Structure 1
Amino acid sequence: MMGMNPRQMKKLMRQMGIRMEELEGVREVIIRLENREIVLRDPAVTVISAQGEKSYQIVPGSEEVRAVVEISEEDVRLVMEQTGVDRDTARKALEEANGDLAEAILKLTEE
Protein backbone atom coordinates (compact mmCIF):
# COMPACT_ATOMS: atom_id res chain seq x y z
CA MET A 1 0.00 0.00 0.00
CA MET A 2 3.01 2.27 0.22
CA GLY A 3 3.17 4.50 -2.81
CA MET A 4 -0.60 4.30 -3.39
CA ASN A 5 -2.10 7.67 -4.12
CA PRO A 6 -4.83 8.97 -1.76
CA ARG A 7 -7.55 8.52 -4.34
CA GLN A 8 -6.69 4.83 -4.81
CA MET A 9 -6.52 4.41 -1.03
CA LYS A 10 -10.03 5.87 -0.57
CA LYS A 11 -11.41 3.61 -3.32
CA LEU A 12 -9.85 0.54 -1.70
CA MET A 13 -11.20 1.51 1.72
CA ARG A 14 -14.72 1.98 0.28
CA GLN A 15 -14.49 -1.47 -1.30
CA MET A 16 -13.59 -2.88 2.14
CA GLY A 17 -16.59 -1.10 3.69
CA ILE A 18 -14.54 1.50 5.53
CA ARG A 19 -15.71 5.12 5.41
CA MET A 20 -13.82 8.14 6.72
CA GLU A 21 -15.37 11.54 7.31
CA GLU A 22 -13.69 14.66 8.65
CA LEU A 23 -15.90 16.56 11.13
CA GLU A 24 -15.86 20.27 10.42
CA GLY A 25 -16.13 23.05 13.01
CA VAL A 26 -15.04 21.07 16.08
CA ARG A 27 -13.82 23.54 18.70
CA GLU A 28 -12.99 21.22 21.57
CA VAL A 29 -13.24 17.66 22.83
CA ILE A 30 -13.48 17.04 26.58
CA ILE A 31 -12.44 13.73 28.12
CA ARG A 32 -13.91 13.49 31.63
CA LEU A 33 -12.09 11.31 34.11
CA GLU A 34 -12.96 10.74 37.74
CA ASN A 35 -10.88 13.61 39.12
CA ARG A 36 -9.83 15.65 36.09
CA GLU A 37 -10.72 16.68 32.58
CA ILE A 38 -8.55 16.70 29.49
CA VAL A 39 -9.61 19.47 27.12
CA LEU A 40 -8.43 19.13 23.51
CA ARG A 41 -8.80 22.47 21.72
CA ASP A 42 -9.16 22.95 17.94
CA PRO A 43 -8.85 19.23 17.19
CA ALA A 44 -8.97 17.52 13.82
CA VAL A 45 -11.65 14.83 14.27
CA THR A 46 -12.13 11.98 11.81
CA VAL A 47 -15.02 9.51 12.05
CA ILE A 48 -14.11 6.05 10.77
CA SER A 49 -17.04 3.70 10.09
CA ALA A 50 -16.32 0.01 9.50
CA GLN A 51 -18.62 -2.99 9.85
CA GLY A 52 -21.30 -0.93 11.58
CA GLU A 53 -18.91 0.42 14.23
CA LYS A 54 -17.74 4.02 14.55
CA SER A 55 -14.31 5.08 15.76
CA TYR A 56 -13.12 8.62 16.32
CA GLN A 57 -9.58 9.73 15.61
CA ILE A 58 -8.73 12.97 17.40
CA VAL A 59 -5.60 15.03 16.81
CA PRO A 60 -5.57 18.01 19.21
CA GLY A 61 -4.37 21.49 18.37
CA SER A 62 -3.57 22.04 22.06
CA GLU A 63 -4.25 20.23 25.32
CA GLU A 64 -5.17 21.36 28.81
CA VAL A 65 -5.63 19.24 31.93
CA ARG A 66 -8.05 20.59 34.54
CA ALA A 67 -8.79 19.30 38.02
CA VAL A 68 -12.45 18.63 38.68
CA VAL A 69 -13.68 20.16 41.93
CA GLU A 70 -16.83 18.83 43.58
CA ILE A 71 -18.90 21.72 44.92
CA SER A 72 -21.75 20.86 47.25
CA GLU A 73 -25.07 22.68 47.38
CA GLU A 74 -24.36 23.37 51.05
CA ASP A 75 -21.17 25.25 50.12
CA VAL A 76 -23.04 27.26 47.47
CA ARG A 77 -25.74 28.21 50.00
CA LEU A 78 -23.14 29.24 52.58
CA VAL A 79 -21.37 31.53 50.08
CA MET A 80 -24.74 32.99 49.04
CA GLU A 81 -25.68 33.69 52.68
CA GLN A 82 -22.32 35.22 53.55
CA THR A 83 -22.03 37.45 50.48
CA GLY A 84 -25.61 38.11 49.34
CA VAL A 85 -24.93 36.97 45.75
CA ASP A 86 -27.09 34.73 43.57
CA ARG A 87 -26.54 30.96 43.14
CA ASP A 88 -24.66 31.20 39.81
CA THR A 89 -22.26 33.83 41.13
CA ALA A 90 -21.60 31.80 44.29
CA ARG A 91 -20.96 28.60 42.30
CA LYS A 92 -18.64 30.40 39.87
CA ALA A 93 -16.64 31.92 42.74
CA LEU A 94 -16.28 28.47 44.34
CA GLU A 95 -15.15 26.95 41.06
CA GLU A 96 -12.56 29.68 40.57
CA ALA A 97 -11.35 29.14 44.16
CA ASN A 98 -11.13 25.35 43.62
CA GLY A 99 -13.80 24.79 46.24
CA ASP A 100 -12.12 26.92 48.94
CA LEU A 101 -14.99 28.55 50.86
CA ALA A 102 -12.93 31.26 52.52
CA GLU A 103 -11.25 32.31 49.27
CA ALA A 104 -14.59 32.44 47.42
CA ILE A 105 -16.21 34.54 50.14
CA LEU A 106 -13.22 36.91 50.37
CA LYS A 107 -13.18 37.37 46.60
CA LEU A 108 -16.88 38.22 46.49
CA THR A 109 -16.78 40.60 49.46
CA GLU A 110 -13.75 42.48 48.06
CA GLU A 111 -15.54 43.31 44.78
Structure 2
Amino acid sequence: MNPAQMAKIMNQMGIKNEPIEASRVIVEKPDGSKLVIENPQVTLIDMQGQKSLQVAGDFVEEAGKEDKGQSDVDLVMQSVLSASREAAEQALKEADGDIAQAIMSLEK
Protein backbone atom coordinates (compact mmCIF):
# COMPACT_ATOMS: atom_id res chain seq x y z
CA MET A 1 0.00 0.00 0.00
CA ASN A 2 1.45 3.35 -0.96
CA PRO A 3 1.73 6.21 1.57
CA ALA A 4 -1.04 8.27 -0.08
CA GLN A 5 -3.53 5.39 0.24
CA MET A 6 -2.46 4.80 3.83
CA ALA A 7 -2.96 8.50 4.68
CA LYS A 8 -6.42 8.44 3.09
CA ILE A 9 -7.49 5.35 5.06
CA MET A 10 -6.13 6.81 8.30
CA ASN A 11 -7.99 10.07 7.64
CA GLN A 12 -11.24 8.14 7.08
CA MET A 13 -10.71 6.42 10.44
CA GLY A 14 -10.28 9.78 12.16
CA ILE A 15 -6.54 9.41 12.58
CA LYS A 16 -4.56 12.50 11.68
CA ASN A 17 -0.80 12.55 11.41
CA GLU A 18 1.43 15.54 11.02
CA PRO A 19 5.19 15.47 10.49
CA ILE A 20 7.22 17.57 12.92
CA GLU A 21 10.60 18.98 11.99
CA ALA A 22 13.18 18.08 14.62
CA SER A 23 16.95 17.93 14.59
CA ARG A 24 17.28 15.93 17.82
CA VAL A 25 15.08 14.09 20.29
CA ILE A 26 16.26 13.25 23.81
CA VAL A 27 14.45 10.78 26.06
CA GLU A 28 15.52 11.08 29.70
CA LYS A 29 15.11 7.82 31.59
CA PRO A 30 14.48 7.55 35.36
CA ASP A 31 17.99 6.21 36.00
CA GLY A 32 19.51 9.38 34.54
CA SER A 33 20.57 7.82 31.24
CA LYS A 34 19.38 9.31 27.96
CA LEU A 35 18.39 8.05 24.54
CA VAL A 36 19.54 10.58 21.95
CA ILE A 37 18.08 10.41 18.44
CA GLU A 38 19.87 12.61 15.89
CA ASN A 39 18.00 13.68 12.72
CA PRO A 40 14.80 11.86 13.73
CA GLN A 41 11.58 11.46 11.81
CA VAL A 42 8.90 12.68 14.21
CA THR A 43 5.17 12.38 13.56
CA LEU A 44 2.35 13.76 15.71
CA ILE A 45 -0.57 11.32 15.64
CA ASP A 46 -4.02 12.51 16.72
CA MET A 47 -6.42 9.60 17.16
CA GLN A 48 -9.85 10.52 18.51
CA GLY A 49 -8.43 13.43 20.50
CA GLN A 50 -5.55 11.50 22.01
CA LYS A 51 -2.21 12.76 20.77
CA SER A 52 0.98 10.74 20.64
CA LEU A 53 4.38 11.07 19.04
CA GLN A 54 6.07 8.53 16.83
CA VAL A 55 9.85 8.89 16.68
CA ALA A 56 12.03 6.96 14.25
CA GLY A 57 15.76 7.06 13.69
CA ASP A 58 19.09 5.78 14.94
CA PHE A 59 19.81 6.47 18.58
CA VAL A 60 22.64 6.23 21.05
CA GLU A 61 22.30 5.68 24.77
CA GLU A 62 24.23 8.00 27.06
CA ALA A 63 25.04 6.82 30.55
CA GLY A 64 23.37 8.55 33.45
CA LYS A 65 25.03 10.29 36.37
CA GLU A 66 24.83 7.14 38.46
CA ASP A 67 26.73 5.11 35.86
CA LYS A 68 29.37 7.80 35.48
CA GLY A 69 29.67 8.08 39.26
CA GLN A 70 30.29 4.36 39.64
CA SER A 71 32.99 4.40 36.96
CA ASP A 72 34.62 7.35 38.77
CA VAL A 73 34.59 5.39 42.03
CA ASP A 74 36.10 2.38 40.26
CA LEU A 75 38.84 4.57 38.76
CA VAL A 76 39.74 6.02 42.17
CA MET A 77 39.81 2.53 43.69
CA GLN A 78 42.11 1.28 40.91
CA SER A 79 44.45 4.24 41.36
CA VAL A 80 44.65 3.93 45.15
CA LEU A 81 44.70 0.19 45.72
CA SER A 82 44.22 0.48 49.48
CA ALA A 83 41.01 2.52 49.09
CA SER A 84 37.69 0.88 49.88
CA ARG A 85 34.59 1.68 47.85
CA GLU A 86 33.22 3.76 50.73
CA ALA A 87 36.47 5.73 51.04
CA ALA A 88 36.57 6.37 47.28
CA GLU A 89 32.94 7.53 47.28
CA GLN A 90 33.58 9.84 50.24
CA ALA A 91 36.74 11.27 48.64
CA LEU A 92 34.85 11.99 45.41
CA LYS A 93 32.04 13.63 47.35
CA GLU A 94 34.48 15.85 49.27
CA ALA A 95 36.28 16.73 46.01
CA ASP A 96 32.98 17.60 44.27
CA GLY A 97 33.52 14.83 41.72
CA ASP A 98 37.11 15.84 40.88
CA ILE A 99 38.81 12.47 40.32
CA ALA A 100 42.38 13.77 40.56
CA GLN A 101 41.65 15.60 43.83
CA ALA A 102 39.96 12.50 45.26
CA ILE A 103 42.98 10.33 44.40
CA MET A 104 45.40 12.86 45.92
CA SER A 105 43.38 13.07 49.14
CA LEU A 106 43.42 9.27 49.52
CA GLU A 107 47.16 9.04 48.88
CA LYS A 108 47.96 11.30 51.87
What TM-score comes out, normalization by structure 1 length?
0.53
Unaligned runs of 5+ in 1: 70-97
Residue type at the aligned position of 1:37: S
Shift in CA distance, 100/26, structure 1 to aligned 2, threshold 3 Å: farther
Unaligned runs of 5+ in 2: 67-91, 102-108
Q: How much does 1:39 deviate?
A: 2.5
1:6-63 CA distance string (max 9 Å, x none): 2111111111110111211231222231x22222221222111101001111223221
Structure 1 counterpart of 2:54, from 46, 54, 57: 57
Shift in CA distance, 24/100, structure 1 to aligned 2, threshold 3 Å: farther
Separation in 2, partners of 1:106, 1:20: 52
What TM-score comes out, normalization by structure 2 length?
0.54
RMSD value, Cα: 2.7
Shift in CA distance, 53/11, structure 1 to aligned 2, threshold 3 Å: same
Separation in 2, partners of 1:36, 1:56: 22
Query: Hey, what does 2:32 align to over in structure 1?
Result: 36
Matches within 5 A, 1:20-99: 20-33=17-30, 35-42=31-38, 43-69=40-66
